[in-house]
Amino acid sequence: MKALIKLSLENKSLNHLLFLFLIVLAYFSYTNVAKEMFPPSSLDKIVVQGVYPNSDSATLDKLIVKDIEKILLDNQNLEDVNTLITNGSYHVNASIKDNSKKQKSINNIKNLLETLKDDLPSDMDIPNVETVESYFPLLNLSISSNTNPKYIEVGKELVEDIKKLKNLYSVKLNANYDSLLTITLDDKKLSAYGLAKNKTIAQINALYSLFPIGKIHSKKETYYINTRNTNIEIEKILNTQINIDNILVLVKDIATIKYSYKEKDVITKTNGKESITINIKKDKSGDSIFLSKQIRTILDDYKSEYNDINFNILSDSSFWIKTRLNVITSNIIIGLILLFLAIWLFVSLKIALVVILGIPISFAFGLIGLDFFEGSLNTLSMIGVLLTLGILVDEAIVVSENIHRHQMLGKDLTQACIDGTVEVMPILFASMLTTIIAFSPLMMLSGGLGVFIKIIPLIAVSYTHLTLPTKRIV
């Protein structure tokens, strides 16, 4: 230990290089760490679901659901199995204890479900197996216009552009805005041309038809491939010639065409104007602040392109995240300034500088640990920082004061640093060990509470564990 401390004292350039490297690494960790209001409060889930039409819930329970429940309950990586059975369908889900074993658990469940196939009715499909990951609300957008009727189509384009961003869980409109092509036949014109209405409708239907040409099977579902025989543009359809009982007519001669939207179950308004809303959620690895900036940039581009359409942000969780993190950060900074002044007045300026330098270095180690363990910067992680701040300050003062005491005994600075640090090292190690022992049980909590609170002991252990090398660097 003495040799290591002496080496660090004699190689100041190496210490400075390590310090710069640590700060750069901490910066990249900070940019990579997700920032959110709170950590996940629930485990990822595995969902097994299927349908069997015209069957009641009791039949489904006996036929397949009990076997599915047994498969999930026997899996050591799953817990909290819940089942919902309705007439014709069933839904079974279970929480995943360890995400690192998630794919292995999924593959195991799929293999076991395949073994049930021989005992099922021939017209019953093997159930689907999917995963549901934790997600967090991010933004709610509103789009409206009194002058531009195409604002819904612009909203659809905006949804597709936002979906291109990484770490988003879902980007959805508040309702189904599928376009509806309405063709209205003129009965008088049909009579004038001597055309049968049913045959005319059949010919017009043929303009927009789907012809199946095959299908692709995947492990999850079946995709059907179709070819479309259609002219979707209204002008092209109007100028299309159709043959009805050897009579050639243009569509525009017997019908009118317009685009509309299916009747909506939900109507939303913004500032008294009918609007559409976009709900955006991020996954657990996404940075709320960074994603919000990216979405706002996309929104600014749309605002400049469509001056007659109103784009409004109804809610933005990143605002509250930044506010809370800034409040906690400012409290930490104010506390450090007051601490520096107190140590300077009552101890010495050198010890005050050592303490103030040591704490940011410890924070840098903590950020790196947070990134390594795939944690996030949130209200609870900052509470963990506040809890350990007092421990870090106490240890820094103990080391600095002991070095100062050895200097007062007549030793030179180098020897005082070596002897003073080595003398209190067992005490610091014991202090660190007691903190780790006290917080470690919180990391072993299971279920949603364990997922939610795990970040506090993770921060406390990471910071205190790296206190000893921090003192040597300073």
Dist CA 269 CA 144 (whole Å): 8
Q: Name the β-bridge partners of 172.
A: 279
329 or 111, higher pLDDT: 111
Contacts of residue 412, defined as CB under 8 A and 6 or more positions apart, other chains included, come to: none
**Per-residue pLDDT at 229 exceeds 70:** no
Angle, CA 18 vertex, CA 16 and CA 24 arms, to 5° = 105
pLDDT of residue 199: 84
Here the CATH number for the domain that contains residue 463 is 1.20.1640.10
> Which class for 14: exposed (0-12), middle (13-18), buried (19 or more C-beta within 10 A)?
exposed
Amino acid sitting at position 243? N
Position 324 in a domain: no
208 or 72, higher pLDDT: 72
Position 415 in a domain: yes
| pLDDT tens digits, one per residue of 391-444 | 777 777 788 788 888 888 888 878 888 888 888 888 888 888 888 888 888 877
128-132, 258-262, 449-453: least confident range: 258-262
pLDDT of residue 41: 61
Position 390 in a domain: yes
pLDDT of residue 198: 85
Residues 198 and 142 in one domain: yes
pLDDT of residue 39: 73
Tell me if residue 249 falls in helix, strand or coil: strand
Dist CA 135 CA 39 (whole Å): 10
Tell me if residue 203 falls in helix, strand or coil: helix
Position 361 in a domain: yes
Here the CATH number for the domain that contains residue 150 is 3.30.2090.10
| pLDDT tens digits, one per residue of 170-188 | 898 887 777 677 788 888 8
**Per-residue pLDDT at 277 exceeds 80:** yes
Tell me if residue 81 falls in helix, strand or coil: strand
| pLDDT tens digits, one per residue of 87-146 | 889 999 988 877 777 788 888 888 888 888 888 888 888 888 887 766 788 899 999 888
Residues 367-382, mean pLDDT to the nearest whole number: 80
Here the CATH number for the domain that contains residue 106 is 3.30.70.1430
Residue 218's pLDDT band (cuts 50, 70, 90): low
Residues 126 and 151 in one domain: no
Residues 56-84, mean pLDDT to the nearest whole number: 89
Contacts of residue 270, defined as CB under 8 A and 6 or more positions apart, other chains included, come to: 142, 144, 277, 310, 312, 314
Amino acid sitting at position 152? I
b vs e for 285-318, b when ≥16 Cβ sit within 10 Å of the residue's Cβ?
ebbbbbbbeebeeebeebeeebeebbbeeeebbb
Dist CA 248 CA 239 (whole Å): 12
Residues 84 and 145 in one domain: no
Q: Which residue has the tokens 């409060």?
A: 41
Highest mean pLDDT out of 130-134, 203-207, 227-231, 239-243: 239-243
pLDDT of residue 451: 72
Q: Are 278 and 143 in contact (CB under 8 A)?
A: yes
Dist CA 474 CA 466 (whole Å): 13
Residues 203 and 311 in one domain: yes
Phi–psi pair at 11, nearest 5 degrees: -120, 75
**Is the pTM value of this prediction over 0.75?**
no
Residues 294 and 416 in one domain: no
pLDDT of residue 278: 92
The rounded mean pLDDT for the chain is 80
b vs e for 214-234, b when ≥16 Cβ sit within 10 Å of the residue's Cβ?
eeeeeeeeeeeeeeeeeeeeb
Amino acid sitting at position 260? S
pLDDT of residue 189: 86
Q: How far apart are the first and last CA of the chain?
A: 16
pLDDT of residue 345: 86
Domain that holds residue 198: 136-318
Q: Pick from 247, 248, 243, 142: which is nearest to 202 by CA?
A: 243
Dist CA 382 CA 33 (whole Å): 13
CA distance to 57, 167, 244, 265, 307, per residue, from 159 (Å): 38, 15, 42, 20, 18
58-72, 190-204, 304-318, 359-373: least confident range: 359-373
Residues 384 and 299 in one domain: no
Q: Are 98 and 77 in contact (CB under 8 A)?
A: yes
Residues 394 and 449 in one domain: yes
Could you give the count of Cα atoms lying within 13 Å of 419 in the half-sphere of its Cβ? 14
Q: Are strands 34-35 and 376-377 parallel, antiparallel or unpaired?
A: parallel
Residues 362-368, mean pLDDT to the nearest whole number: 78
Position 340 in a domain: no
Q: Are 324 and 354 in contact (CB under 8 A)?
A: no
Residues 153 and 280 in one domain: yes
Q: Are 366 and 385 in contact (CB under 8 A)?
A: yes
**Per-residue pLDDT at 210 exceeds 50:** no
**Per-residue pLDDT at 260 exceeds 80:** no
Phi–psi pair at 466, nearest 5 degrees: -100, 10
pLDDT of residue 106: 85
Dist CA 369 CA 29 (whole Å): 9
Position 329 in a domain: no
pLDDT of residue 264: 63
Position 388 in a domain: yes
Residues 122 and 147 in one domain: no
Position 370 in a domain: yes
pLDDT of residue 262: 65
Dist CA 361 CA 468 (whole Å): 11
Q: Which of 133, 162, 189 is the last residue of a domain?
A: 133
Dist CA 203 CA 185 (whole Å): 12
Q: Are 173 and 160 in contact (CB under 8 A)?
A: no
340 or 365, higher pLDDT: 340
Residues 297 and 431 in one domain: no
Q: Which residue has the tokens 């299309």?
A: 240
98-102, 260-264, 299-303, 373-377: least confident range: 260-264
Q: What is the count of structural domains for the chain?
A: 3
| pLDDT tens digits, one per residue of 142-166 | 998 887 778 888 998 999 999 999 8
Q: Which of 274, 301, 318 is the last residue of a domain?
A: 318
Q: Which of 133, 148, 174 is the last residue of a domain?
A: 133
Contacts of residue 35, defined as CB under 8 A and 6 or more positions apart, other chains included, come to: 287, 288, 289, 290, 318, 321, 325, 376, 377, 378
Residues 128 and 195 in one domain: no
| pLDDT tens digits, one per residue of 18-63 | 888 888 888 888 888 888 777 766 567 888 998 888 888 888 898 8
Residue 197's pLDDT band (cuts 50, 70, 90): confident
Residues 161 and 304 in one domain: yes
Amino acid sitting at position 418? I
Dist CA 182 CA 256 (whole Å): 8
pLDDT of residue 187: 86
